[in-house]
Structure 1
Amino acid sequence: MSDLPATGTPARIHWTEGDVERSALWRSESGMPAPKKVVIANDQTPADLAYRLACEGTALLWRGDFQNARQLLQALARRADHKGDKGRRAKTPKVPASAAEAFHLHRQAQSQRARTLAMLLIPFDADYTIPLRRAPDVQQACNEAYGRADQPFVASLRELLGLIGAHEWRKNGVEIAALDARIHPHYGVFSPIRGEYVDLVANAPLPADASLAFDIGAGTGVLAALLAKRGVAKVVATDMDQRALSCARENIHRLGYDDQVEVIQADLFPDGRAPLIVCNPPWLPGRPSSSIEAAIYDPDSRMLKGFLNGLADHLAPAGEGWLILSDLAEHLGLRPRDQLMAMIDAAGLAVSERHDVRPTHPRASDATDPLHTARAAEVTSLWRLSAR
């Protein structure tokens, strides 16, 4: 759990209600510390006051109608986005000196926004029921994300809505055209909604020996399933995250590939060598701020470097490594192409071919996105690597 401080003791949140000192377990998947100052809020709390308190770092523990809490969160989001804030003169935005500065300013703004919106808190009973009027049944969504319940706790409403959204993704699944089937992502496991990288793996020519493949960082298991569908006799998919392992195993079983795909816990490579090793690491160097961001941000490019540096020792003779990587980091000034090529060369690898595709997701064409210039230039590539 991310709500444990360094001592390993579960974090608690404290507040005064009706002149009585109270406390409860604090949960935060993003690792946000328990707010030090907490006030009670209800249906009569004005949105402007709530926003001012949230910006100051004061959390609001909700005691009113649940649906009104959702409306208040929307009002806080509008204020955080400087919409509908009458009488406030918009500040002249700072012009970033570089793409990297624009990215860091964007992340900083998003982080501040997330902290502010996370200040609206919801109480939970020990069985994941919410003791508020018109509260939805969230027991299944919470069980999927948190595991078995054992005591009351407090969490942010924004996090709860994320849990509910993840539950809907898991229930309904994501249609993967290359599989002609749906993949069902679990909470905290990145959803394969960007289909271009899946299509690259679906269309790249398999090596002559397709008897065995390793899928490094399996996630939902979508690439392992795709390799099995393409006829690879045996696929070993690895991951370190327990949620990802559970998600991949469930998807592989649902798709009927249990006999072809084995999902195991391993830090990058399993034992042995394979004619084909596939890896789709996080695309941006940086520190993730939540579990779901671990699929996007790779601190110091650890996974990318680990895959490249270990690839030659795990490839069978004449084997291929497929690195699936966006060049967004290059356009953001976070990792130049020369640095990637130097990593490949230092690992004793050679590039035999590269397959490129342009993303089709909405952000690539959204001119209002602060990172639009970089996103519009982005290309996702499948690098076919071999040992020198």
Structure 2
Amino acid sequence: MTGPARVHWTEGEESRSARWRSESGAAPPRRVQVANDTLTADAAFRLASEGTAILWRGDFQNARQLLQALARRIDKPKKEKKAKPGASTISPVDAFNLHRQAQSQRARTLAMLVMEFNGAHHVTLRRAPEVSRACSEAYGPGDATQGTYVTSLRELLGLISAHEWRKKGVELAALGGERIHPHYGVFAPVRGEYLALVAEAPLPPALASGSLAFDIGTGTGVLAAILARRGVQQVLATDQDPRALACARENLARLGLATRVELQQVDLFPPGRAPLVVCNPPWVPARPSSPLEHAVYDPDSRMLRGFLQGLAAHLVPGGEGWLILSDLAEHLGLRPRGELMAWIDAAGLHVLSRVDTRPQHPKAGDASDALHAARAAEVTSLWRLAAAASL
């Protein structure tokens, strides 16, 4: 058996190594160069672009400025070449793939600026902030006996940002202004339009005889909380991710709904049937480039297809399945509407109605975004589905 991944470097003519941490699943860098405040941004950019990690020994705040300088060099607008006469316009799916490739390359380059931590999650650099709590929330409790580890500054800043989100929470109109506190690695419910769909759609009449709902892929627990606040007496909420379940448990307890929502670690459906089954699967059928992207990207639409295929078997007579789904994939050329409708039909389901809403996030109006055309046309829908045999 192999042990934890390690990163190796030479410092002061001494060979050294430490554990490697990467929540994105990145492999440890093969080449490492120790650097400090004397390193210029141009030299750092050359090293990072070549795949050489920069192990920082200088001032922490200077490292943050260096990371920003690297990002500016990556994001510097390139001169557009004039299109040749008769040249074809790039397709939406090609634009999406090029965008993903650029994102992946950008992430790899910025991840080359790395720092060493002791086992208790402390960074021993000048002007370094106290980050042990943020690291503990993602990595688990620190242990000084475990030796040092190395991770990227970019990841550390992500941990700090997630810690602040967790402390402050996200205020949601669909919960009457109360807050949901996302944990690191759990998708934050920042797009209020899809929450409003669940908060406002008419509840199925079948709930009158059995006030039970399933929330498939609960994440932060936000949809389970909305259903409980709407009067559903018992919600069974499922997720595969232990982080998501811990996050949902904390949020539901804070909202006073712990006794109304039961959490289960299962893939998709809990046992049994319910008058209402709700699911908000990842919207884009593409391969995630890191474990943290699974909330957005769903290879082959696995979760969407699994929900549709299993829904009829988990609805009571007269029950409804609510599918919350954006059509962004359709505008990107990744999943045609006809394919979705064919999956619904093959699963023995019937569309009762569909409620649409427009996205309100900033990228929808950002003309400089690489996927602006698709985002500007995007519609998010709540599909009310029923088993065809029960109609």
* TM-score range relative to shorter protein: over 0.9
Q: Aligned equivalents of 2:15 and 2:82: distance in 1?
A: 43
Match of residue 10 from structure 1: 4
1:130 aligns with 2:126: no
Alignment match, 1:179: 175
Question: CA shift at 1:293, angstroms?
Answer: 1.2
Pair 1:112 & 2:105 matched: yes
Q: Which residue of 1 aligns with 2:334?
A: 334
Could you tell me whether the CA contact under 8 Å between 2:180 and 2:251 is conserved in 1?
yes
**d(CA) in 2 for partners of 1:240, 1:366:** 34
2:134 counterpart (127, 138, 141): 141
Which runs of no fewer than 5 residues in structure 2 stay unpaired? none
| Aligned with 2:43 (options 38, 41, 49) | 49
Separation in 2, partners of 1:349, 1:9: 48
Q: Secondary structure at the match of 1:132?
A: coil
Tell me whether 1:208 sits opposite 2:205 in the alignment. Answer: yes
Partner of 1:303: 303
Matches within 5 A, 1:53-92: 53-82=47-76, 90=79, 92=81
CA contact under 8 A between 1:277 and 1:322: conserved in structure 2? yes
Letter in 2 for 1:123: E
CA positional deviation for 1:131: 1.0
Report Cα offsets for 1:361-383 as digits up to 9, x if no partner: 10001011110000000000000
CA distance in 1, matches of 2:25, 2:265: 24
SS in 2 for 1:178: helix
Give the TM-score normalised by structure 1. Answer: 0.95
Cα pair 2:162 2:183 within 8 Å, conserved: yes
Residue identity in the other structure for 1:196: E
How far is 1:147 from its partner?
0.5
- 1:275 to 2:275 alignment: yes
2:216–2:278 contact (8 Å) kept in structure 1: yes
Equivalent residue letter for 1:340:
L
Q: Matched residues in 2 for 1:340 and 1:9: separation? A: 44
Query: 2-side partners of 1:319 and 1:209: how far apart?
Result: 6
Q: Identify which range, 276-285 or 96-105, moves more after superposition.
A: 96-105
Q: State the partner residue of 2:359.
A: 359
Identity across the alignment (%): 69
1:245-289 Cα shifts (integer Å, max 9, x gaps): 000000000000112111111110000000000000000001112
Q: How much does 1:242 deviate? A: 0.7
Q: Give the one of 144, 157, 162 matched to 1:161.
A: 157
Aligned pairs (5 A) from 1:309-320: 309-320=309-320
Q: Deviations over 1:63-101 (max 9, x none)?
A: 000000000000000001126xxxxx7363988520000
**Matched residue type, 1:40:** V
Amino acid corresponding to residue 62 of structure 1 in structure 2: W
The alpha carbon displacement at 1:292 in A equals 2.8
1:149 Cα deviation from its structure 2 partner: 2.1
Query: Partners in 2 of 1:342 and 1:93 — Cα distance?
Result: 41
The question of whether the paired residues in 1 share the 8 Å contact of 2:217 and 2:239 is answered with: yes
Shift of 1:8: 5.3
Please tell me the residue identity of whatever aligns with 1:287: R
1:342-377 C-alpha deviation (Å, 9 max, x unpaired):
110111101010000000110001011110000000
* Cross-structure match for 1:236: 236
- Asked if residue 224 in structure 1 is aligned to residue 224 in structure 2, the reply is yes
In structure 2, how many angstroms separate the alpha carbons of the residues matched to 1:264 and 1:250?
A: 14
List per-residue Cα deviations over 1:34-88 (Å, max 9, x = no partner).
Answer: 00000011000011010001000000000000000000000000001126xxxxx
d(CA) in 2 for partners of 1:238, 1:13? 37
Give the conservation status (yes or no) of the 8 Å contact 1:357–1:379: yes
User: What one-letter code is carried by the residue in structure 2 that aligns with 1:190?
Assistant: F
Q: Which secondary structure does the structure 2 equivalent of 1:28 belong to?
A: coil
**1:35 matched to which residue of 2?**
29
Q: Secondary structure at the match of 1:266?
A: coil
Q: Distance in 1 between matches of 2:263 and 2:127?
A: 41
Question: Where do 5+ consecutive residues of structure 1 fail to align?
Answer: 1-6, 84-88
1:372 aligned residue: 372
Q: Deviations over 1:222-255 (max 9, x none)?
A: 0000000000010000000011000000000000
Contact 2:132 2:142 in 1 (8 A): no
- Structure 2 counterpart SS, 1:277: strand
Which one of 68, 74, 96 corresponds to residue 103 of structure 1? 96
Distance 1:71 1:40 in 2: 17
CA, structure 1 residues 93+147, in 2 after alignment: closer, same or farther (shift >3 Å)?
A: farther
Q: Distance in 1 between matches of 2:65 and 2:91?
A: 37
In 1: Cα distance, 2:124 partner to 2:81 partner: 44
Secondary structure (helix, strand or coil) at the match of 1:149 reads coil
Query: Deviation at 1:208?
Result: 1.3
Aligned to 1:284: 284
Give me the whole-angstrom Cα distance separating, in 2, the residues matched to 1:228 and 1:8: 46
> With structure 2 as the length reference, what TM-score do the two structures score?
0.95
Q: Distance in 1 between matches of 2:246 and 2:89?
A: 42
**Equivalents in 2 of 1:93, 1:340: separation in Å?**
38
Does the 8 Å CA contact 1:96/1:102 hold for their aligned counterparts?
no
Q: What is the root-mean-square deviation of aligned Cα atoms in Å? A: 1.2
